[in-house]
Amino acid sequence: MKGKFITFEGSECCGKSTQSKLLYEYLKKEGYPVIFLREPGGTKVSEKIRKILLDGRNDSITPETELLLYMASRAQTVKEVIEPALKKGKIVLCDRFLDSTIVYQGYGLGVDLKLIRDMGGFATGGIRPDLTILLDLSLKKALDGIGCKRDRIESRTFAYHLRVKKGYLTLARKEPARIKVVKLAENKLQTQARIRELALDALKGK
């Protein structure tokens, strides 16, 4: 792979979408060949799967089905968009990737972690991020920021979201070279400055 793959992770309402899009606009303005994706999503098929996964009316979805749907969406996006872009030397920014499944369905719902990693290797074709930005925000503050209309995942209990957050921090301790924890500052541009620093270092191979 010639390109670079940078992912954004974090609990609900931690600012991932905002910060990843700010980095995308910055890199684009600086002349980098960059594309931006979100997970689940990024292709027609994946966006349809996203609607199924987040629809609060689908409350009968089992953890096993949830896992398979996320992996199916990811496999489609990798083959259709991510892998071709990396081969062309592009920078791919993605709002969530396999780490999300490990923590949300693994640490959060109790699905076997080895199973998730094995399935993840199949779904991604072995593609792994060069850098993962893990945004860290107080869980209470993050959940308080969710609007009244919550999707199926956001509507889960505080205990569930706490397991997710702990899962993320566990992954960060295990892979400090790839996963960089960035605490959100009061000013979003201060947070973005740190993210740009990490991203530029990754692009330069530092």
pLDDT digits (tens, 9 = 90+) for 98-122: 999 999 999 999 999 999 999 999 9
Element (H, E) at 132: strand 131-136
The alpha-carbon radius of gyration of the chain (Å, integer) is 16
Residue 23, classed as helix, strand or coil, is: helix
What integer pLDDT is reported at residue 147 of this predicted model? 56
Are 85 and 35 a contacting pair, CB within 8 Å? yes
d(CA 37, CA 31): 18
d(CA 22, CA 82): 20
Query: Bridge-partner residues for 111, per DSSP?
Result: none
d(CA 25, CA 40): 21
What integer pLDDT is reported at residue 140 of this predicted model? 75
What does the domain layout of the chain look like in residue ranges? 4-203
Enter the tokens of residue 41.
Answer: 């999503």
d(CA 64, CA 43): 23
How many other C-beta atoms are found inside a 10 Å radius of the C-beta of residue 13?
Answer: 17
CATH architecture of 4-203: 3-Layer(aba) Sandwich (3.40)
What integer pLDDT is reported at residue 67 of this predicted model? 98
Backbone angles phi, psi at 5, to 5 degrees: -120, 115
Query: Bridge-partner residues for 36, per DSSP?
Result: 93
Instruction: Determine how β-strand 131-136 pairs with β-strand 91-95.
Output: unpaired
Those residues of the chain that have pLDDT short of 70 are 1, 142, 145-149, 206
Enter the tokens of residue 95.
Answer: 């709002």
Count of alpha carbons within 13 angstroms of residue 104, beta-carbon side: 23
